[in-house]
Chains A and B, each alone.
Chain A
Amino acid sequence: MNRIESTFGIGRLIAKHLTGALNADEQELLDSWLGKDIENKEIFNRITAHKSLAAALAEMEQVNVERALANVKSRIGVAERRKRDIRLWQRIASAAAVLMLLGAGVWFFSTRSANGRFPQFVSGAHDIKPGRNTATITLANGKIINLSDAKTGVVVHSDRLMYTDSSIVGGRHPEFISGAGSGKDISQNRDPGNHQEIILSTPRGGTYQVTLPDGTMVWLNAASSLKFPSTFSGLANRKIELNGEAYFEVARDKKHPFIVNTAKQDVEVLGTHFNINSYQDEPAVSTTLLEGSVKVSAFADAGTKSDVTLVPGQQSVFAGDHRLSVRNVNVADVIDWKNGKFVFEREDVRTIMRKVTRWYDVKVVYQDDVGAIKFSGTVSRYENVSGLLEVLQKTNMLHYKIDGRTILLYKPNQ
């Protein structure tokens, strides 16, 4: 009997136990498994411990399912197209053979694939594709490197750049960071640690992940940029600059505080997971803490400074002229962009459309005043823009039209 399949059965029983769904017979089955071996009891205790269960569910929540599915589907698409092309070629070859035999004029061939479905012809002309993994790195000497869109992240070593799968950026012509050897180096950073300033930027429609020299991981959203040194060694603080939106998982280093500088505020952290949203065209800067502890210091236009220390689940909001305010939030909503989703929580159309323009790299034109209508919902970031617009349109509170790279919004026809 299959050992593996019985573990599926046990898993199901334990899940039922946790939700109180076990009936008498199932309880007996579970008990007999528990009684068979002391090891089983220990496994059961470990799995059902509330803390480990919550931590495991939270870990699973961090996964970007939609992007993964989009990746696998595009590989399937490529493979299917290759198969279809081969079959088509075979059909052409055999049809040609038949033609020669018949010597007749008109011939039909169907492009139906083996399981009877027609190939999908996507009318790309009237829809807009979502963003993808694309970004550039600018070195201290001014050189701009385009990062591969087949990779998801880049790792900064003190002297060179690698992708997260350990392949080298630049392939056969690796990109070196240190100034030595690159004649055009006009960098002023001639300090002993040889810190070179590096900028990672994403265009509209781009996103990328970077691992900083101390091991800190940063996910950069669209239309954002991150400035940091090639190495933190010899520096009292780990200081970096952000424009736009990013999610951070900071490596622990109690002796060297990690500080994120944005136009209006500084965030000082010790070892923690948090999200900062500081786009210039958003009314406020917000910092949301998932784990650990951060201190947010904001500089008002009047020159005054206010600070606040956040605990997990809190978000600080700062709009230039007011003080910092703090509120509790559902952190999953705030970092859903990193997990491949757009999540709107009673957000007005204008705010939603600002996110859309950054990710899809489009313009929005309001033909009627529909900007203040509020929506709540969740949509995958990896669908074409029509996916999201359809969801809004279904409420019948606004209608849309796509014209090239412009989205038009208007009131529903009477």
Chain B
Amino acid sequence: MTTYRTYTDLELAALLGQGDERAFDHLFRKFYPALCFFARRYVPVPGLAEEVVQDIMFKLWQRHKDFNDFNSVKSFLYISIKHACIDKAESERRKLNRDNNWYLQQDHLEHNIEEHMIQSEVLMEISQAIEMLPGQCRKIMKMSYEQGMSGKEIADIMQLTVSTVNNQKARGVLLLRKALSYKALVTLFALFHADLFN
């Protein structure tokens, strides 16, 4: 199972296209939390949002032959989830016959999709990079950044010295930086230059 952690996104997408189940599992674990976050912007009920994302991930598997690159996988996921959420919200409203402010206006949804997608992508990259950190370092980073604990509080819980905690945090930040410095620059350039010259 560990070998898949070192595959790049490109390689995983290619493997998925060939029907590799373990690549699917790995992509699932990578995407799922961020996609649920995205879905919950449209369907605030956690259980329902998760059902939608699971349905779409299942569809992804069924159609794996259609995908051979990472961007097309992600585009499919975001767009399908958005549509499925809108349908779900609509059918919930009809079922329960409610006029709650739960169910956001259609235009509002369209307008914000870019922001929601960007946010989900940021979260996915960051949480993925955090998950890849070594054991103790990862715990400390999570307690610090997600739970907002101070160095002293973390030191107390993990029975370490404050200086050890600070060292691990510094190490964590460096490792995150390293993890996110990948060579996708060329693709980014291509995308951006095309856009700028529109």
Contacts and interface: CB of A to CB of B under 8 A. Distances in A.
B7 interface: no
Interface in A126-170: 152-153, 164-166
A329 B33 CA distance: 24
A19 B127 CA distance: 12
A123 interface: no
A149 B146 CA distance: 33
B126 A57 contact: yes
Contacts of B58: 72, 75-76
Interface string A37-71: 00000010011000001101111111101001101
Interface residues of A, number: 62
A235 interface: no
Contacts, number: 187
Interface in B143-159: 143, 145-149, 153, 156-158
Contact of A18 (B126, B185, B198): B126
Given A57-B146, A68-B54, A12 B47 contact: no
B110 interface: no
B62 A71 contact: no
Interface in B111-143: 114-115, 117-127, 129-130, 139, 142-143
Interface in B36-69: 36-37, 40, 45-48, 50-51, 53-54, 57-58, 61-62
Contacts of A98: none
Interface string A332-352: 100000000000000000000
B121 A20 contact: no
Interface of A is mostly: helix
B180 interface: yes
B91 to A, nearest CB: 9
Given A16-B180, A57-B123, A5 B75 contact: yes
Residue with the greatest number of chain B CB neighbours at <10 A, chosen from A6, A16, A25, A60: A60
A337 to B, nearest CB: 17
Contacts of B189: 25, 29
Contacts of B188: 9, 12-13, 26, 29
A331 B143 CA distance: 9
B103 interface: no
Nearest to A115: B19
A7 B117 contact: yes
Contact of B50 (A1, A5, A63, A330): A63
B47 A60 contact: no
A93 interface: no
B121 A8 contact: yes
A165 B49 CA distance: 11
B117 A19 contact: no
Given A5-B71, A15-B126, A313-B149, A32 B192 contact: yes
A21 B33 contact: no
Contacts of A72: 28, 54, 57-58, 61
Nearest to A329: B157
Interface in B163-198: 173, 176-181, 184-185, 187-189, 191-192, 194-196, 198
Nearest to B117: A7
Contact of B79 (A4, A12, A20, A62): A4
B152 to A, nearest CB: 10
A321 B33 CA distance: 42
A33 B191 CA distance: 12
B37 to A, nearest CB: 5
Interface of B: 18-19, 21, 25, 28-29, 32-34, 36-37, 40, 45-48, 50-51, 53-54, 57-58, 61-62, 71, 74-75, 78-79, 92, 95-96, 114-115, 117-127, 129-130, 139, 142-143, 145-149, 153, 156-158, 173, 176-181, 184-185, 187-189, 191-192, 194-196, 198
Given A63-B36, A69-B25, 8 more contacts: A8-B117, A21-B180, A43-B118, A47-B115, A65-B32, A72-B54, A165-B51, A166-B92
